[in-house]
Structure 1
Amino acid sequence: MSMSLRFPKWGVSVLLILGLIATFIFGQATNASATINYGEEVSQVSKRFVGTPFKYGGTTPKGFDASGFTQYVYKNAATKMTIPRTSALQYKTGKAVKQNELKQGDLVFYSTGTKWQVSFVGIYNGDGTFTGATSKGVKVVKMSEKYWKDRYVGAKRVIK
């Protein structure tokens, strides 16, 4: 005597779907998460403004001065950080960083005036360059260029 179970084809489909649902609900799921490298992101955001004109006192993409540019980028990048308005006050913020320990997103400071005081700030890109609102507009600059090398004051890390 042999027994055979007769099961409709649609029943098999229903059982497979229920099995998948049970596996999804009761199975061990892994939580995937992404972390943001805020320094890298700040550097990338800063590069989006290359070509924006210089404007003394400028704080918007219509025209930036150096510290208005860094302030705008930090506020509008993923960091959402508010940093002081002037380069001199920005220099008083954060943790001092040696030039050979710079990371993307660090602020680099220069003395471009007649007195040896901080008067310019840019955002370090991680490859010996920074992005800054120079008198010729926002551009990527090599820190090794004589003009910038001779005027380097220091750097600060404001991203924790």
Structure 2
Amino acid sequence: MLQRFAPLVPLALTLVLAACAGQVAPPQAGYQGAPRTHSAAPWAQDDATPAETGEPTAQELAELTDDQPYQLPQLADSILSHGLSLVGTRYRFGGSSAKSGFDCSGFIGYLFKEEAGLQLPRSTREMINIDAPLVERDELEPGDLVFFSTNGRGRVSHAGIYLGDDQFIHSASRRSGGVRVDSLDDRYWRRSFIEAKRALAMAPSEALERHP
């Protein structure tokens, strides 16, 4: 199933050049046609920051996961367009800005704050517990958060943002070039995938008004 944002991925990626070296293991260079896998690196586990108010009602949350047309495409496009413009930005443990570099949760938090006015928790362990709708693997929409257990212990240790067409963007590691695009269908990510959440359902109403 080709997701709505997927057609923008090749166009945006021709404008940026992903870095090729990194800190985590097997994978090769950054995004060059078909995404490639890599091993995990340590991820930041800093203090959480409370989410802003303005969460939708229970009925609205339910509608987001029912068989309804996706309600947040413009907001997702804004987040992902910004994210793709940062492909190649270096990985930095604890980093949360384009200038200093990003770790995985810092990258997600930066984009959601900048484009959706949504303050997410700082660590992946707390981010996975946000009060947002769970999304089935085959019902992912652009902008959904995807979580992984990269340490083999079944506990969340990494996260990214779903792009569409089974691809996601994340700040991977130093050795794999920092911010890059990978595929959920790659064996490494398929095996380490835990769950996904629709964090955009928590976006404040002002953000939705800016992106009708």
Same fold, judged at TM 0.5 (above): yes
Tell me which of 172, 182, 207 is aligned to 1:141: 182
1:2-151 → structure 2 map (5 Å cutoff):
37-61=74-98, 62-77=100-115, 79-93=116-130, 94-135=132-173, 136=176, 137-151=178-192
Equivalents in 1 of 2:127, 2:194: separation in Å? 13
Question: Which aligned segments of 4 or more residues in structure 1 are displaced greater than 2 angstroms?
Answer: none
Change (3 A) 1:36 1:123: closer
Provide Cα deviations, 1:11-68, integer angstroms capped at 9, x if missing partner.
xxxxxxxxxxxxxxxxxxxxxxxx9721222122111110001111111112110001
Which has the higher relative contact order, 1 or 2, with Cα contacts under 8 A spaced 6 or more apart?
2
Tell me which of 173, 187, 193 is aligned to 1:152: 193
Q: Which moved more, 1:38-47 or 1:83-92?
A: 38-47
Paired positions, count? 125
Task: Give the unaligned 5+ runs of structure 1.
Answer: 1-34
Cα pair 1:55 1:63 within 8 Å, conserved: yes
Task: Give the unaligned 5+ runs of structure 2.
Answer: 1-71, 202-212
What's the RMSD between the two structures over aligned residues?
A: 1.4
Equivalents in 1 of 2:184, 2:97: separation in Å? 25
Equivalents in 2 of 1:44, 1:95: separation in Å? 23
SS for the counterpart of 1:125 is strand
TM-score (norm 1): 0.74
- Equivalent position of 1:11 in the other structure: none
Letter of the 2:114 counterpart: N
Equivalents in 2 of 1:126, 1:58: separation in Å? 26
TM-score (norm 2): 0.57
Cα pair 2:80 2:163 within 8 Å, conserved: yes
Provide Cα deviations, 1:75-123, integer angstroms capped at 9, x if missing partner.
111x111111011111111111001111110000001114210110101
SS for the counterpart of 2:164 is coil
Equivalents in 2 of 1:41, 1:126: separation in Å? 14
User: Between Structure 1 and Structure 2, whose CA radius of gyration is higher?
Assistant: 1
Cα pair 1:56 1:65 within 8 Å, conserved: yes
SS for the counterpart of 2:105 is helix
Cα pair 2:95 2:101 within 8 Å, conserved: yes
Percent identical pairs in the alignment equals: 34
Cα pair 1:46 1:123 within 8 Å, conserved: no
Higher-strand-fraction structure = 1
Equivalents in 1 of 2:182, 2:152: separation in Å? 21
